[in-house]
Amino acid sequence: MQAPLSGSTTILLTLLIKLGVIASLASIIVRFGRFKRALFVEQRSPGQKLEFALFLGVPFALCVLARVIAGYRGLDLSLEITVLGGLLGGAIVGLVVGLLVSLPAVLLGHEVLALLMAVIYALVAGLARWLCPDKESIWQFSPFIDLSLYRSIKLRFRQPALDWQVLFALMCVVLEMMRIDAGHMAGSRNLFYLSSPKFWIQVLIILTTVVAVGIPIKIWNSARIERKLEDQHRMLLEARMDALISQINPHFLFNTLNTISSLIRHDPDTARSVLLKLSRILRRRLKVQAHFVPLKEELEFIDDFVGIEVVRFGRDKLHFVKQVEPQAESVMIPSMILQPLVENAIRHGLAHKIEGGTITLRATRKRHRLKIDVSDDGVGIAEDKLKAIYASGIGISNVNERLRVLFGDQCSLQVESRMGAGTSVSVVIPELVVREYESPMEPARISD
């Protein structure tokens, strides 16, 4: 059994160790993805509650075990972690955590009151969580209680109301004082606690409990805020991507409908064929909402698009050649990234060439990079207009903007052209692997 400590230096050292241990373990635990998912959810399923309780209870139960066996007093954080379980997960989570951390003390240390006190800690903390109307207030709990007191006193003179930060701190104070009193009455053999005859040391023991509860909340809340910022950034990118894609769809639809309207009177059968191709394209766009698709799927879309344009220009004037490496077909690329390049080649490269021409699409995969070339043997682009092509028009500027948003400086888009010889657009992007648990906006990149 562990007797109450005496000696101011020893107790102060023990209190510092407690703060260091709980800060270290809180920082280690939050690195686990499963813990983060359980932590960031306010309404947890029974399985998530159990998983959350195990993440909290198991490492701190080992700390209590080390205290019972080796006598390392600064490792016992049973009160603090049980309160954290009740505050962040509710009474059930708190009870499971309390059971886990009290078992070594009860079974090996024969501290018969450890389990009863753990139940009290869990129920009180769970009740505080249940009574708190705004669960966000729990995440605002700070170990620097003096600032909360000052803010509370200053505010409540103007607007009387409950300050949950102060109430949470008082809860920790009351529970620690209850443990000390219970330990005095029952004896140190039946319950582990820290105590000192010196009043200022006793105050430090109680304040350390408050700080030890607040430190993990601050650490985990920082991770929580970072996750929220990442989610908001991803949603901003998705909104921006949707806006860029919406620039393409009306443009393509307008041109296709013009083609159908020009055919519908003198060649209704061909108009019907074009309309069927258009319906397949739109149906595919409605079904696939992901921002990334396999190159093979994007090529099927291009086949339908070019099929419509061949009807418009004539089979003898527009030819389409694909040279795609088999290993490149499975690489994920941004959806609707090829269509504006092919459309530009047709509209600006071949449409002004009387005899028509050929569009060649090449795709190669090398060193975790995918290179796509769309070239034509059309009229070409004047040198003075070539530099402005990245910022003007819907096609190239849209593709360039989407690539910049998605890949930053890890991608490239180059346009080369000679008057009378044609134009070539080259796109190089990093190879992507999309995992099920990741957002479609954020596939994993494979580095060299």
CA distance 193 to 207: 14
Q: Which domains are present in the chain?
A: 8-230 (no CATH), 264-445 (3.30.565.10)
In angstroms, what CA-CA distances link 316 with 220, 375, 377, 399?
66, 18, 15, 29
- Taking 50 as the threshold, does the pLDDT of residue 434 lie above it? no
pTM, rounded to two decimals = 0.60
Paired with 372 in beta bridges are 363, 427
Q: What is the mean pLDDT of the chain?
A: 82
Longest CA pairwise span in the chain (Å)? 104
- Could you read off the pLDDT of 358-392 as tens digits, one per residue? 999 999 998 889 999 999 998 888 877 777 777 66
Paired with 214 in beta bridges are none
Q: What is the pLDDT of residue 106?
A: 93
Which one is predicted more confidently, 366 or 250?
Answer: 366
Q: In angstroms, how far is the first alpha carbon of the chain from the final one?
A: 58
- Taking 80 as the threshold, does the pLDDT of residue 161 lie above it? no
Q: What is the pLDDT of residue 391?
A: 64
CB 152 within 8 A of CB 163: yes
- Could you read off the pLDDT of 212-228 as tens digits, one per residue? 999 999 999 888 888 87
In angstroms, what CA-CA distances link 246 with 27, 43, 344?
43, 36, 17
Q: What is the pLDDT of residue 162?
A: 53
Q: What is the pLDDT of residue 5?
A: 44
- Taking 60 as the threshold, does the pLDDT of residue 393 lie above it? no
Q: What is the pLDDT of residue 271?
A: 84
Q: What is the pLDDT of residue 439?
A: 43
- Taking 80 as the threshold, does the pLDDT of residue 152 lie above it? no
CA distance 267 to 260: 10
Q: What is the pLDDT of residue 192?
A: 92
With a pLDDT cut of 90, the percent of the chain lying above it is 36
* pLDDT tier at 151, thresholds 50, 70, 90: low
Most confident of 39-43, 130-134, 335-339: 130-134
In angstroms, what CA-CA distances link 28 with 21, 36, 51, 73, 241?
11, 11, 16, 21, 36
